[in-house]
Structure 1
């Protein structure tokens, strides 16, 4: 029994099970043995055997932690004994003094909630699963996925919660196919893979920094505490010329030699790192935590445990946040179909998470976990041992997950002219692919409101006949965040120069109207100097806001130099100016250019006439002549 307990305390549950079963054969029927044996089965996903042990504990003893009611209910739920699970959960809440939530485990309520989220996916084979353990699916760039496998260890391995089997996990990358499958898996290069476990990578958008899980690995050796226990820790690595190097352990309070931290995940704006940890958990299960980041580096030690609406007495693990801000995670502590189910959560206006089960298909009576999702193309991956071993599954979401409130962001504002609200002004929303996805109009008070998916790059184009267009970027907004975008609009035939409105008309030269500084080029060349790019930006901005305006660029030189050289030089300068404006997004059919050399001098400085530099400068000019469609 002592050897069994020592193995149990080292999380060596496979060995502990054999020793505890030996004790049962020898006639030891103590409640303490059933507790430990039940927990050992539980941590290895053998819920039917765990159920038998927990039944002994709660039915034949009065001296046990109320949390065993909770764990017993979990195993009953896994066996689809939903009504029994509800009854046992009622006993748990009664004995623990906590608010009674046993109705959430009621079969009718549970199945209704699961049904609402079911049928939202089409599934596909990924093509890289092996007889060993394969799981995860972290996106890496636009067309790759990083995942975990034991395929090269030579041992068929089933992932265990404790990671105490002797087939070790390594990190791989695979290419995403057109239909969402995976192909051409290769071992990650560099110092990322060791002789021990590494898993669950998360990479920053720039592809330079990886967060990942590894056994406590120190100076080439597996770290242990005084009891011989090895914990999981979160590490970082840097991508240097395609190889992952500079592996470093994150500091306390992320990691410690007294508890495990694992499964890192980044928020869409990469200012937060979510992870799972069993710290401060006497019952051995993991909870979800979050800490602040900036540019891939911890900014403080503000490790915060997520609220009770997320964390339960069971296991919460494998967090992932998609680009819209929805937090996905695996849990066996929330009511579900059994084992680890995958859940989605989002915060309301009071900062409380609302949690929903992702439904049948993604979830099963087995362990389902490691959910990742590309919000833009609606494709993703999850892992499950439903076929007896951990495998990766691909999916396409055909209908979004629903919550009991609208978590979208809001852009609102008022459009006015000289302080007077303008009704029926169009506000057209474009996504990051420049696709129009919504159009609305201001009301009689000039007000508008647009609902947006969070953390997405949008722009709003405001248009109305006889008015200049206006384009504003929304920025990345958090769920439920509200942003005001109000402004004064001006007429199409007006520009604002130095705070004053100026009328414009067909044939005007914008050089005069906008009070542009001279457009300078390299000496005797036609490369636009950086100092002149700001001035050209004013012309470009006017054209973008007034799609009915076209411009002709006229370029002139002074009389110095040969006539034919000056003509060619002015033509090249006109072309460079046109190309610059086109490259900024203006259609070619709205901009033209012509070089006139020294044929249109504005003063007496002809060939052979001695003039000052200032007098010659008057003739070196660019005109931007406007015309209306």
Structure 2
């Protein structure tokens, strides 16, 4: 009836027991799993990494409450947050009550901590000024709160505002996107069936949320319960559900969008999933270890796991950068080296263009990259690549010219060793303050043209020659030209050119190019020809 009224596709059609088992079997055998040491006779669940050495989790061990996992939004369980140390093999030990103002006499659980460890989002009963908030029917709802880490203690606890939280519905179980620009959570708002769905909202620094709350697509949300979201560093969204086909109770599922923006959802397989409730999945991609909570033993416990092979979505979930590299004539270029650098400027991959000039490289999502394109005899190029979304495909294609050519006024101009780039690039004069050596703003645009030529042509170095006219004392003019040459060199080096590729010399009035020497009457235009900067091309030895 729901699907007929809403006009939405019933995604359960064609599940069938045979297909269900085959799909789950495809993902099975991927985990080694065992219970952790800190489990108590009471409820322990909802693990989240605080850093590489510590996790945070919820437990009822100090209050002696065994929670029956029915996911009641009116659950008045007395859970508190604890930390535990991560052992080398992924176990947990040395539990300790969380320091600060987060724990109250009521219910706290499911923390999500920012990468810098300064901000935590967590679930709590509607707790107002030391009292448990209830509506007119006596119902206590769950809300999401935010706290700050102040010298190792969690303080300044605040309730997130409307529309994320409200007094007529519950919101719980926060999770952060890898780039921390979105907060995922669970809510029973607008749910006529009384079950919970997954939502997301934009997130700003300092724990401030936007007003753009969005219910996730129907590939994710079903008529059943969707809960406990978590997103790993590669952008895979994990969640628990009893509405998707599974082994029984709550199962853990993984979802990611394809290039068209549609979610693909798969059961993560056995080991993690059983015929009991399995939930609160968390995972660190770099070490392939994580934790999941389950009541398979009859009580909520935490299990550590190692992932032996990645989940299979039947398509490449890694972002792809690609393109075609050609000469300006349109002819493809084979053998251009494409170097991939991370945000630390570390080279992490190298690929080459093929006979058709095409190249491609797999990347990681939510990561800054720089691409460098190089081949002997050609100009070099760099491309800053802002973070990719999972499964995103992005094209960077370029045309290349010979490194001993420049484009001036849309025409190719050949350059050679010994040429003056002032003439080749048709630069305007480089002006300085009167009788000084500070470069004027109007001349910086001209020097930037020199910088751009050199950046993509590492084979080229330049020698800067600075000249004055004959007016003024000879020794003053010599010193002035030397200072101007050095100022010009410093500007070029400060804009990204290696110091070894730039030299400078001042000649004062010793190299006049016309008759206007001392005592010779000349026009201002004639004197101007002697006040010049030269940028002489020198080729580096290979």
TM-score, normalised with respect to structure 1: 0.65
1:301 and 1:225 map into 2 onto residues whose CA distance is 26
CA contact 1:409–1:454 (8 Å) conserved in 2:
yes
User: Which one of 371, 378, 387 corresponds to residue 476 of structure 1?
Assistant: 387
Instruction: Pick the structure with more strand per residue.
Output: 2
Residues 426-465 of structure 1 correspond to what in structure 2 (within 5 A)?
A: 426=336, 428=338, 430=340, 432=342, 434-437=346-349, 439-442=351-354, 444=356, 446-448=357-359, 452-465=363-376
Equivalent in the alignment of 1:110: 20
Residues 338-349 of structure 1 correspond to what in structure 2 (within 5 A)?
A: 338-348=248-258
User: Which one of 38, 58, 72 corresponds to residue 149 of structure 1?
Assistant: 58
**1:223 matches 2:165:** no
Q: Secondary structure at the match of 2:293?
A: strand
1:208-254 CA distance string (max 9 Å, x none) = 54332111011221101122221101123345565544433233332
User: Which one of 216, 223, 231 corresponds to residue 321 of structure 1?
Assistant: 231
Residues 12-51 of structure 1 correspond to what in structure 2 (within 5 A)?
A: none
Post-superposition shift, 1:335? 2.2
In 2 relative to 1, CA 194–506 (structure 1 residues): closer, same or farther, beyond 3 Å? farther
Unmatched runs of 5 consecutive residues or more in structure 1? 1-65, 68-92, 607-611
Residues 160-309 of structure 1 correspond to what in structure 2 (within 5 A)?
A: 160=69, 161-162=71-72, 164=75, 166-170=77-81, 172=83, 187-205=97-115, 207-239=117-149, 243-295=153-205, 296-307=207-218, 309=219
1:110-146 CA distance string (max 9 Å, x none) = 3322221123345578665555544334345x63655
1:261 and 1:202 map into 2 onto residues whose CA distance is 14
Q: Secondary structure at the match of 1:312?
A: coil
In 2 relative to 1, CA 467–396 (structure 1 residues): closer, same or farther, beyond 3 Å? farther
CA contact 2:200–2:214 (8 Å) conserved in 1:
yes
TM-score, normalised with respect to structure 2: 0.74
Residues 380-395 of structure 1 correspond to what in structure 2 (within 5 A)?
A: 380-395=290-305
Q: Secondary structure at the match of 1:224?
A: coil
1:371 and 1:427 map into 2 onto residues whose CA distance is 41
1:178 and 1:576 map into 2 onto residues whose CA distance is 51
Q: Secondary structure at the match of 2:163?
A: coil
2:536 and 2:38 map into 1 onto residues whose CA distance is 60
Equivalent in the alignment of 2:399: 488
User: Which one of 98, 119, 128 corresponds to residue 29 of structure 2?
Assistant: 119
Equivalent in the alignment of 2:264: 354
Residues 91-106 of structure 1 correspond to what in structure 2 (within 5 A)?
A: 101=12, 104=15, 106=17
2:440 and 2:91 map into 1 onto residues whose CA distance is 49
2:455 and 2:49 map into 1 onto residues whose CA distance is 36
Q: Secondary structure at the match of 2:15?
A: helix
1:73-94 CA distance string (max 9 Å, x none) = xxxxxxxxxxxxxxxxxxxx9x
Post-superposition shift, 1:343? 0.7
Post-superposition shift, 1:597? 8.1
User: Which one of 314, 317, 336 corresponds to residue 404 of structure 1?
Assistant: 314
Q: Secondary structure at the match of 1:491?
A: coil
- For this pair of structures, how many residues does the alignment match? 517
1:336 and 1:151 map into 2 onto residues whose CA distance is 28
Instruction: Decide which moves more: 321-330 or 449-458.
Output: 449-458
2:440 and 2:152 map into 1 onto residues whose CA distance is 37
CA contact 1:459–1:474 (8 Å) conserved in 2:
yes
1:556 and 1:143 map into 2 onto residues whose CA distance is 57
1:502-534 CA distance string (max 9 Å, x none) = 44434556677665997999x9999x9999999
Equivalent in the alignment of 1:422: 332
Instruction: Pick the structure with more helix per residue.
Output: 1
Equivalent in the alignment of 1:13: none
**1:363 matches 2:269:** no
Equivalent in the alignment of 2:416: 505
Post-superposition shift, 1:292? 3.7
Post-superposition shift, 1:489? 1.8
1:428 and 1:232 map into 2 onto residues whose CA distance is 51
Cα root mean square deviation, aligned: 5.0
2:393 and 2:34 map into 1 onto residues whose CA distance is 38
In 2 relative to 1, CA 324–109 (structure 1 residues): closer, same or farther, beyond 3 Å? same
1:585-626 CA distance string (max 9 Å, x none) = x8x8x83676768899767999xxxxx9xx99x999896864
CA contact 1:231–1:257 (8 Å) conserved in 2:
yes
1:115 and 1:601 map into 2 onto residues whose CA distance is 86
2:111 and 2:180 map into 1 onto residues whose CA distance is 14
1:503 and 1:594 map into 2 onto residues whose CA distance is 23
